[in-house]
Chains A and B, each alone.
Chain A
Amino acid sequence: MTQQGSPIRIAGDTHVGKVRTMNEDALILEPRLGLYAVLDGMGGANAGDVASQLARDAIRDFVLQRRAALAPKALLEAALVAGSTAVFTAAQQHRERHGMGTTAVVCLVVDPKHVVIAHVGDSRAYLLREGRLQTLTRDHTIVEDLVERGLLAPEEAERHPYKNVLSRNLGARAEARVDLLELELRPGDRVLLCSDGLYGYASAEAIQYLLGSGDAPEHVTRDLIEIALRGGGGDNVSALVIEAPAAAPSSTQVVRTSGAVTWWQHRQRFLQVASDGGLARNPIVRGLPAQEAIELVALSLCQAIYHDLEKSTGVNVWTFAQNLAAGWFERGGDWNAVRGIVDILGGAARAVVDDIRARDAKLGFLLDVAVSRALIVVELALGGLLAERLRQIDSDLIELHGAALDTVEHDTLETVEPLESGERSIERPGERPSERSIERPGERPSERSIDRFIDRPTIPFLRPERPVTSSGESSEVLGAIAKAITIARGRLSPRAELVAQILVALETVATDSGGNFAAAVLAARELYGVRSVDNAGVMPLFDAFDKARIVAASSVHQVRASPAIRVRVLRALSLAHQRLVAAATGLVLEAVVPFGERLREVQVVTGELREAVARAEQRRADLERKFATIVDPSLPWGARGSTEW
C-alpha cells in the first residue's frame, strides 16, 4: 500500500511471516486524515486479528469524527482510548475473545513538518535523521519497565524470559495509558512505524541501512519486510515508512541542472542574436565565412557558459576569453575589436536570459545571475590580459629609458673627456656602446673603465688559491669522468644546448690539472655570455645547471668502473659543479652592482636638487618678509601678485 498524493511520501505493508498462519497485524493508511498506524493484535485463536482490526476501525472513526474538535495530541490520545474501549467491550461480549488486545503505534501528520505519535505496547516508531536511526518510543513491556526503574540491566533485558510480556496494550481494560510525542520533521526525515515482527528479526543496523538508502518508501518497506523474513520471519511483519518532503533544491542546484539544460536548448537563439548583432563583421573573425565565424566564436562561448553553469565554475568562460583576446593581441589587434565582440556576445546572452525569464520567471532570474557572473568572468579575464600587456609595455619603457640614459652618459663622457691620442675604445662582442671601456696607455683598464662585471679580472669573494678539484687525479679517474660526461651528453635531447655546454664545462673544470679557480671562472663567463639581469635572463642558466648536475650524477652510476672510482668521479664532478655555479653566481652579483651604484648616484643628485629648492624657498621667504616689513606693511600679500609655484 502506497500513498503518493501528499507532499509527505508514505508506504506501508504487512506480511504474515514464515511461521504464523494468520496475520494479526493491521495498518492504518489514511492520507485524508493524515493518520497512519501499525497495530499488532494478540489473544489466542481468531482473537488477535479481531483486536487489531477493531482498534484500527475505532481509532480511524474517532479521528474522522472528532478531528475538528480536538487538538492533535488530545485527539490521538482519545482515539487510542476509544480503540481500547472497543476491543475491551468486544472481549467482554465474547468469551472466546476474552483477553485479546493489540499494540498500536499511531502517527498523525498535522502538517508536512509536524507529526504527533502515540503508542501503546511494543510496536515501535523510529526516526532516521541525517543518517542516524533513533527509537522514538519505549516498549511497554514488564522488562522495559524494570530497566527504566533501574532494577534490570539493559543487557539482561535482552535475555529476559518475559521480555515480550506487555505491561500495556489496547483492550486489556476500557481505559488505556497512552504515550504521546510531538515531532518537528526536518527535510528528508523518515519515520518508521513497525511491529515487533520487524525489529525482532532484523538488526538495527540493517533497518538504518535500508531506511537511509534513499530508495522510495515503497521499496524501503518491501526491503524491510524482506530482511525480517530472511532473519527468520517468526512473527507477522509490518512496516510503515513516512518520509518528510526533501529540502527545496538550492539555486545552485537549479542552475546546474535545469538552468544549464535550458540555456543549451536556447543556443540557436543565442547564435541568431549574435549574428544579428554583427558578430561576423567584427575584425577578429574577418576572413571567415559568416556561419563559421558564428560557430567558432558564439557557439564556443555558448558552450563555455553551458559547461560553467553545469559545474558552477567559471573556468571555461575564462579560458574562452583568454584565448580569444590573447590570440587577437598576438596578431597585433586592437582593444576595440575585443570590446565589440564581447558586447555582442553579452547582448546575445541577455536576450536568451530574457526569453527564458518570460517563460519561467524564477529560472530566468537564477540564470540572469549565473550568466551575468559568467560575463563578469569574461571581463575579468580580459582585464587580467590587459594588465599583463600594460606591465610588459611598462617594462619595455623602463628598458628604453635605461638605454636612452646609457647613450646620454656615453655621449657626455665623450664630450667631457675626449679621447686623447693613443687612447682606444675597447669593443667586445655583444656589448652595448655604453659598456665599452676606455683604455689609456700606462693605465690599468680597471682604473678608468666604466664598471662592468665582464671587465673584472676575478670573482672577489672566492679564494683563488682554493683548489677546484683534487688535482692530480689518476688517468683512470680522468677517463671515467670523460665517460660519464659522454654518457650524460648522450642522454640529452638535441635542443638542450645549454645543458650540453655546461657538461662540457664540467668536464673541463673537473679535469683541469692546474687545480685552481680560473678554469671555473672562465667556463662560467662563457656560459653566462651576455644575459639580461633579470629572472628571464638568469634563471634559465641555473635551471640548466640543475639539469646538468642531475644528468651527470646519474650518468656516473652507469660508468663501468669500481665503486671507489665512481665515488672519485662523482666527487670531482660535484666539486667542479659547485665551483662553476658559484662562479656564475659571482657573475650575477657583479652584474647587479652597477644598478645599485647608479641608484646611489642618482639619489645624490636628487638630494642636491632638493637642497637647491629648499634654498630658493628660503630666499623667497626672506624677500617676501623684507617686502612686507620695509616696503609697505599695510598692503596685503595678494596685492603684490602671487609668488606661489
Chain B
Amino acid sequence: MADSHLAEAVRVLRDEVLDTVQHGDRDPPGAEVFEALLRALTIGGESIPGLDLTLHDAVARRLAWGDSEEAVLADAELVFDRLMVSADRAFRDPADQMVVIEAATQVAVTVSRVVALAAVARAGRDRAARMREEMSHQQLKEVLQKQKAALQRLEHELKQDFR
C-alpha cells in the first residue's frame, strides 16, 4: 500500500529524530536515512529493498566527501533507534506502527549493505594497487642493481685514470 499519510506523519518527527537544530541550514547526520524512510513510505510496502538509488547515492557521496564508514553506520543506527522510540509514541494504530517499523528497518539495513559494498570495493582496489606496487618493487630493485654495477665501474675507471 502507498502510505503517503504515514509519510506525512513521519515527516513531522524530523526535528525529533534528527539533530536539525544543531546543524542549522545543513543536513544533519543521518538525514539521508530519514529521507529514504519517507520515500519508502511514499512508494509503499512493495518496494524492493536495496533499490533506493537515491539512498545509495547519498551514502556514496558522504563516503566520497571523507565521512568514515563507521560514522555513516553510527548515524543510521542513531536515526533508527530514535525512530523506534518516536514511532512508539507517535502512532496509536498498531498497523501504522508496524509499517513504519518495517520501513525503518529496511532503510537502516540498506545503509549497512551500501557501506559493506563500498568497503569491499575499496578492499579490491587496495589489493590491486598493492600488487602493482609490489611489481614496481621488483623493477626498482633491478634498476638499483644496475646502478650499483655502473657506479662501481665508474669509480674503478676514475681510479685508473687518476693513476
Residues on A lying within 8 angstroms of B by beta carbon are 398, 401-402, 405, 460-462, 466, 533-535, 538-539, 542, 545-546, 549-550, 553, 556-557, 563-564, 566-567, 570-571, 574-575, 577-578, 581-582, 584-586, 588-589, 591-592, 595-596, 598-599, 602-603, 605-606, 609-610, 612-613, 616-617, 619-620, 623-624, 626-627, 631-632, 640-641, 643, 645
Contact A546 B154 (CB under 8 A): no
- Across-interface contacts of A578 in B (CB, < 8 A): 77, 80, 105, 108-109
How far is A591 from B128 in the complex, measured between Cα atoms in Å? 16
A-B contact pairs, 9 of them (CB 8 A): A398-B131, A533-B123, A534-B124, A546-B49, A550-B49, A574-B84, A582-B77, A584-B112, A645-B150
Knowing A571-B84, A620-B154, the reply to whether A595 touches B133 (Cβ < 8 A) is no
Contact A620 B143 (CB under 8 A): no
Knowing A616-B151, A627-B154, the reply to whether A567 touches B123 (Cβ < 8 A) is no
Q: How far is the CB of A398 from chain B (nearest CB, A)?
A: 6
CB-based nearest B residue for A578: B108
Residues on B lying within 8 angstroms of A by beta carbon are 49-50, 69-71, 73-74, 77, 80-81, 84, 88, 94-95, 97-98, 101-102, 104-106, 108-109, 112-113, 115-117, 119-120, 122-124, 126-131, 133-134, 136-137, 140-141, 143-144, 146-148, 150-151, 153-155, 157-158, 161-162
Q: Is the interface of B mostly helix, strand, loop or mixed?
A: helix
- Across-interface contacts of A609 in B (CB, < 8 A): 137, 140-141, 144
Knowing A567-B97, A623-B154, A631-B158, the reply to whether A535 touches B126 (Cβ < 8 A) is no
Among A462, A581, A617, A640, the residue within 8 A (CB) of B109 is A581
CB-based nearest B residue for A631: B161
Contact A620 B117 (CB under 8 A): no
Contact A623 B73 (CB under 8 A): no
* Residue in B102, B108, B120, B148 whose Cβ sees the most chain A Cβ within 10 Å: B120
Q: Is the interface of A mostly helix, strand, loop or mixed?
A: helix
Contact A567 B157 (CB under 8 A): no
Given contacts A592-B123, A599-B130, A616-B144, 6 further A-B contacts (CB under 8 A): A577-B105, A581-B112, A588-B119, A592-B122, A624-B154, A631-B161
- Across-interface contacts of A582 in B (CB, < 8 A): 73, 77, 108, 112
Q: How far is the CB of B163 from chain A (nearest CB, A)?
A: 11
Knowing A401-B131, A578-B105, the reply to whether A619 touches B151 (Cβ < 8 A) is yes
Q: How far is the CB of A57 from chain B (nearest CB, A)?
A: 77
How far is A13 from B91 in the complex, measured between Cα atoms in Å? 80
- Across-interface contacts of A613 in B (CB, < 8 A): 140, 143-144, 147
